[in-house]
């Protein structure tokens, strides 16, 4: 009996010794989604920029606070497709830039307002040939989502559905554009500096075309960020899953 007890104690000591020598796995480093952030609209109760840079938006029309993709009340903006938009009265004209946002269109065919190109519903517009790094734009034109990350050559287009949330990331650097949809790279092209010479407007506008008088978006927009850097795939995945 004494031999068995001693033997058991030796085994326990050996096990404890092995366990104490096992390395502890380090916690994963958090993904940084704040470096380079120039403007951030969480749309939680208002159209204020919470980046600390002071680019608060001004609401026009009757854009209303609504539920976001997780069901949180007063946490996204809903646009009526008639006269609603938000103007930042600022331009984010960076050679290297990334735009991240969520959209949920409730109309993909329709007037989008009066004037030319009335089938187009524009979620984001910054479009002036005087801008150095080209047009930045998100729109839905007759059932198709079209994205401009920087200029008019390297765009991306695909079919889109109503009443569904989409996460978009548009990236521009010196030579290329890249487009991510729901965390996945879906397209790329060449960047340029071209923008509009017809009713140009360098202001970053949310929910309408560059004039602010037509091409109105109908649906919800949320969690909008603009960076002056090129986001990497880990950061894009973090923004999609956040």
Residue 231 within a domain? yes
pLDDT for 50 equals 98
Over the stretch 16-41, which tens digit does the pLDDT of each residue have? 444 545 667 777 789 999 999 999 99
The span from the CA of 161 to the CA of 175, in Å, is 31
The SS3 of residue 228 is coil
pLDDT of amino acid 128: 97
* CATH number of the domain residue 189 falls in: 2.60.120.200
Residue 85 resides in a domain: yes
pLDDT for 12: 43
> What would the DSSP string read from start to end of 104-164?
EES-SSS--SSSSSTTEEEEEEEE-TTSTT--EEEEEETTEEEEESSSSSS-EEEE--SS-
Question: Whole-number mean pLDDT of the chain?
Answer: 90
* pTM of the complete model: 0.87
Overall number of domains in the chain: 1
Is the pLDDT reported for residue 13 higher than 50? no
CB count within 10 Å of CB 7 equals 10
3-state class (DSSP) for residue 103: strand
Task: Find the angle CA(136)-CA(141)-CA(145) to the nearest 5 degrees.
Answer: 60
Residue written as tokens 């958090």? 30
| pLDDT of 142 | 87
Q: Look up the domain containing 218 and give its range.
A: 37-241
Closest CA to 107 of 136, 145, 77: 145
pLDDT surpassing 90 at residue 7? no
In a domain, 147, yes or no: yes
pLDDT per residue as tens digits for the range 166-183? 999 999 999 999 999 999
193 domain-assigned: yes
Per-residue pLDDT tens digits for 65-90: 999 999 999 999 999 999 999 999 99
Confidence of residue 5 (pLDDT cuts 50, 70, 90): very low
Residues forming a β-bridge with 8 = none
Residue 21 within a domain: no
Residue in 155, 137, 160 with CA at minimum distance from that of residue 219: 160
Q: Mapping DSSP to helix (H, G, I), strand (E, B) and coil, where does residue 2 land?
A: helix
pLDDT digits (tens, 9 = 90+) for 144-167: 999 999 999 999 999 999 999 999
Residue 152 lies in a domain: yes
Comparison of pLDDT for 149 and 199, the residue scoring more: 149
Q: 158 in a domain, yes or no? A: yes
In a domain, 22, yes or no: no
Q: How confident is the model over 103-149, as pLDDT tens digits?
A: 999 999 876 665 554 678 999 999 999 999 999 999 998 899 999 99
Evaluate whether 212 touches 115 at the Cβ level (below 8 Å).
no
pLDDT at 157: 97
- The Cβ of residue 166 has, within 10 Å, a number of other Cβ atoms equal to 16
């Amino acid at each position: 009996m004494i031999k068995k007890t001693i033997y058991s104690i030796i085994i326990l000591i050996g096990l404890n010794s092995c366990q104490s020598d096992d390395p502890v796995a380090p916690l994963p480093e958090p993904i940084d989604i704040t470096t380079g952030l120039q403007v951030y609209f969480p749309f939680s109760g208002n159209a204020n920029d919470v980046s600390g840079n002071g680019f608060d938006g001004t609401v026009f029309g009757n854009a209303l606070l609504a539920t976001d993709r997780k069901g949180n009340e007063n946490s996204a903006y809903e646009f009526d497709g008639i006269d609603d938009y938000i103007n930042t009265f600022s331009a984010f004209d960076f050679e290297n830039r990334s735009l991240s946002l969520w959209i949920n269109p409730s109309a993909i065919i329709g007037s989008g307002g009066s004037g030319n190109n009335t089938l187009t519903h524009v979620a984001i517009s910054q479009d002036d040939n005087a801008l150095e790094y080209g047009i930045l734009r998100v729109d839905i034109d007759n059932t198709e989502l079209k994205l401009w990350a920087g200029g008019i050559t390297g765009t991306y287009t695909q079919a889109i559905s109503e009443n569904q949330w989409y996460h978009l990331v548009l990236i521009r650097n010196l030579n290329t554009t890249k487009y991510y949809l729901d965390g996945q790279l879906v397209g790329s092209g060449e960047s340029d500096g071209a923008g509009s010479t017809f009713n140009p407007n360098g202001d970053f506008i949310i929910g309408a075309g560059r004039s602010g008088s037509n091409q109105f978006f109908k649906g919800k927009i949320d969690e909008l960020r603009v960076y002056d850097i090129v986001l990497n795939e880990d950061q894009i995945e973090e923004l999609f899953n956040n």
